[in-house]
Each structure stands twice: as C-alpha cells, then as structure tokens.
Amino acid sequence: MTWADAWTGIIHGGSQMWKVNDMAAKSTALDHIREHAIDVPSLNILCPLAGDDQFVQYAWSQGHNVTAIDLVPAAVQEMRKQFSEDGWSKEEQENGMVVWKHESGTATLYEGNVMTALPELVQKFDAVYDKDSFGALDLNMRTDFCNRIASYVKPVTGIIYTEVKYKPGRTQGPPFHVEKEDLMLPGNFGTMFEHVASLGEVYKLSMPMQQTGHILRRLAKCLAK
C-alpha cells in the first residue's frame, strides 16, 4: 500500500493510521518547542512529512511562520482546508515540487518528495516539528532524511522536536521502535546535533506502544563521522 492509498483510506473514514487529533497534544508540542527554541515572538517552524497534522495550522494561529512538506496531494489539500481553501497561490517548480503559499505570507505548503533539495529553505528554520517522520521511514532512508532536514535548521540555535514510537522488543515497522541512541547514530542526526532532552511519554496512544519525545539542537558544524 502506498501513502497515497493510505490517505485515500484516511479521508474516506478508513484506518486513521497514526493520526492524532487531540489539540492538547499540539499545544504541548508547541510548548516544548517554545521552551527550547530561541526566544523570539515568531519562530520559523518546519514540519516534514506533515500530512494534514493540525499542529501546522495551530502554530500558525499562534503567530509563527510555518512550512510543511508532504508527498501526497490529497493530504496537502486537507491541510489547506484547515486554513480555508481560499487564499492560496500555487507555484510549480522545475524540481517537481508544487508550492502553495498562503496570502498571509506566513504559511507555505510543499507538495512533493521531502528528499528534494530546496535551496530556499537552507538554514531558515528555528525549529522542526517531526511527528513520526523519522520512525516512519525505511531504515535505509534515514541518513538522507537527516542530512536534508539538518541543512534547513539554523546552526547553534535551531532545534528539532521529534516524536517517535517506543515499543521495545519489536523490530518491525513502520512505525519503528526509536530511542535516543537511534536518533543519535553518526549516520542519522548524531554528527549534526546534540541531544538536549528526553521528554518521555508526551501523550497517550490507543496502540500498545508509547509516544515519546526528544529535543535535539543543531551544532555549529558537523562532527567527524
């Protein structure tokens, strides 16, 4: 089953996969980001593999600049509906990305492959909100994903807030079991970030696993692998 198939099911009332619609969880995530990010009124926040996660619209409603990336057009359309479908302009880039820009100037949605290099995003972001992206990817995709996301984060001050599934003893996925050690492997985020905090269980799941959170901070330069 492709992610497009999964979204067809989600939109038409099928399995909701890993979606979490509890707005308290989105508020808590933003609180963690505000606690650890640079202290400015309006943050630039990147949300990779965002689907239609309500965090994006919620953070925007709180005065932050948000950029989301997702591969599936139907998911991006659902995201636009949260803002109202009006007020968006569409741009098709030569790299295959479709870019939706909100009339407010503070929300941008990329429709396409998260691994695509986007020079306009390099070192732009104060924070990354990653709900399950790292743990959803095939293991052989992690290094490219981590390198791409790291390139978009501001050195020294930029952070990643990441939520991952904790299910010890189970190796199959997605979602895969992820701990601090997985995030900080040299081939993943380990040479580019320091681990700042393990947040423990950030909210309850109905599935037999825990949703745990971590904060990583971008180093000034990459460490030798």
Going from the N-terminus, what domains does the chain have, and what CATH number goes with each?
21-218 (3.40.50.150)
Longest dimension (CA), the chain: 48
Query: Does the pLDDT of residue 52 top 50, yes or no?
Result: yes
Tell me the C-alpha distance between 216 and 75, whole Å.
27
Tens-place pLDDT, residues 198-222: 999 999 998 889 999 999 999 998 7
* Residue corresponding to tokens 């997985």: 182
Tell me the C-alpha distance between 62 and 55, whole Å.
10
Q: Are 175 and 137 in contact (CB under 8 A)?
A: no
Q: Are 193 and 217 in contact (CB under 8 A)?
A: yes
User: Quick count: other Cβ atoms within 10 Å of Cβ 98?
Assistant: 14
Query: Does the pLDDT of residue 12 top 70, yes or no?
Result: no
pLDDT at 221: 80
Q: Going by C-beta distance under 8 Å and a sequence separation of 6 or more, which residues neighbour residue 187?
A: 142, 143, 146, 225
Asked if residue 168 has a cis previous peptide bond (ω within 30° of 0), the answer is no
Query: Does the pLDDT of residue 192 top 80, yes or no?
Result: yes
pTM of the complete model beyond 0.75: yes
Query: Does the pLDDT of residue 42 top 80, yes or no?
Result: yes
Give the strand pairing for 159-166 and 210-218. antiparallel
Tens-place pLDDT, residues 55-88: 999 999 999 999 999 999 999 999 999 997 789 9
Structural element, H or E, at residue 108 = strand 107-111
Residue 170 — pLDDT band, cuts 50, 70, 90?
confident
* Residue corresponding to tokens 């409603």: 61
